[in-house]
């Protein structure tokens, strides 16, 4: 499973880089979507590290429960929040409304938290 674990984290790194590229191009909702994808793949990497086959799920909370690691509460809360906003950032009902909800400042905060959680998961 070591090869699979590394592959999941390699893809998570790539997705985090994509989130940063989307941020630089001011595509903030896509930055948030890529943060979700980064953390989803990191969680799947941890599952692979433990010898499990990662399920085909995008639900961060579901994946976190399967990982069974003692994650700090603030990281778990962030994963729950990111999990809730992932569907609207992929399939917005009203683009302008969603863009207004996730301006640069809020996206900076989300990306910073994503990096913190990602680093914690890499070291778990």
User: Over the Cα atoms of the chain, what is R_g?
Assistant: 14
If one counts the domains in the chain, the total is 1
Residue 103 reports pLDDT greater than 90: yes
- Cα separation, 78 vs 64, whole angstroms: 12
Question: In the chain, which residue ranges form alpha helices assigned H by DSSP?
Answer: 2-24, 28-49, 60-67, 73-90, 95-101, 104-122
Q: Which domain holds residue 116?
A: 2-122
Cβ atoms of 44 and 119 closer than 8 Å: no
pLDDT at residue number 1? 54
Q: Please calculate the CA angle 24-64-101 and round it to the nearest 5 degrees.
A: 35
Q: 91 or 71, which is more confident?
A: 71
CATH of the domain at 48: 1.20.120.330
**Does the reported pTM lie above 0.75?**
yes
Tokens found for residue 65:
């429960």
Give the pLDDT confidence of 6-20 residue by residue, as tens digits: 999 999 999 999 999
Task: Give the list of residues 6+ apart from residue 24 with CB closer than 8 angstroms, or none.
Answer: none
Q: 22 or 94, which is more confident?
A: 22
pLDDT at residue number 2? 75
Cβ atoms of 30 and 89 closer than 8 Å: yes
């Amino acid at each position: 499973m070591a090869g699979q674990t590394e592959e999941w984290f390699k893809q998570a790194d790539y997705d985090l880089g994509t989130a940063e590229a989307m941020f630089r191009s001011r595509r903030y909702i896509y930055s948030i979507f890529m943060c979700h994808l980064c953390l989803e793949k990191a969680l799947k990497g941890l599952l692979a590290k433990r010898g499990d086959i990662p399920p085909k799920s995008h639900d961060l909370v579901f994946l976190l429960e399967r990982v069974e690691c003692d994650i700090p509460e603030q990281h778990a809360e962030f994963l729950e929040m990111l999990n809730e906003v992932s569907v609207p950032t992929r399939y917005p009902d009203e683009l302008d409304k969603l863009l207004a909800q996730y301006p640069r400042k809020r996206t900076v905060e989300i990306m910073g938290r994503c990096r913190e959680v990602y680093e914690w998961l890499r070291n778990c």
